[in-house]
Amino acid sequence: MLRPTLADILRTLDVEQIGDDEFSAAQMDNPAHHIVGGHVAAQALMSASRTVASDRSPHSMHVYLLRAGDARRPVQFEVTRLRDGGVLSSRRVLARQDDQVLLEALASFTAPLDSFEHQQQMPDVPSPESLSSVQEQLSAYADDHRGHWVRPQPLDLRYVDPPPRLALDQPEASPRIRLWWRPAEPVPADPILNSCLLTYVSGTTLLETAMVVRRTTPLNAFSALIDHAVWFHRPADLTDWVLSDAVSPSGVHGRGLATATMYNRTGALVCTATQEIYFGRDRQE
Domains of the chain by range and CATH? 1-111 (2.40.160.210), 132-285 (2.40.160.210)
Q: Residue 183 pLDDT > 60, yes or no? A: yes
Q: Residue 225 pLDDT > 50, yes or no? A: yes
The distance in angstroms from the start CA to the end CA of the chain is 36
CB neighbours (10 Å) of residue 228?
Answer: 27
What's this model's pTM, rounded to 2 decimal places? 0.93
Q: Is residue 239 within 8 Å of residue 264, measured between CB atoms? A: no
Question: Which residues lie across from 1 on neighbouring strands?
Answer: none
pLDDT band (50, 70, 90) for residue 285 = very low
pLDDT of residue 215: 81
Q: Is residue 192 within 8 Å of residue 235, measured between CB atoms? A: no
DSSP 145: G
Q: Residue 98 pLDDT > 50, yes or no? A: yes
pLDDT band (50, 70, 90) for residue 281 = low
pLDDT of residue 145: 72
pLDDT of residue 1: 42
Q: What is the pLDDT of residues 27-77, one digit of tens each?
A: 999 888 989 999 999 999 999 999 999 999 999 999 999 998 999 999 999
Q: Is residue 39 within 8 Å of residue 55, measured between CB atoms? A: no
Cβ burial of 278 (10 Å; 0-12, 13-18, 19+) is middle
pLDDT of residue 284: 42
Q: Residue 269 pLDDT > 90, yes or no? A: yes
Q: Out of 14-28, 64-78, 168-182, 249-263, which region has the weakest mean confidence (pLDDT)?
A: 168-182
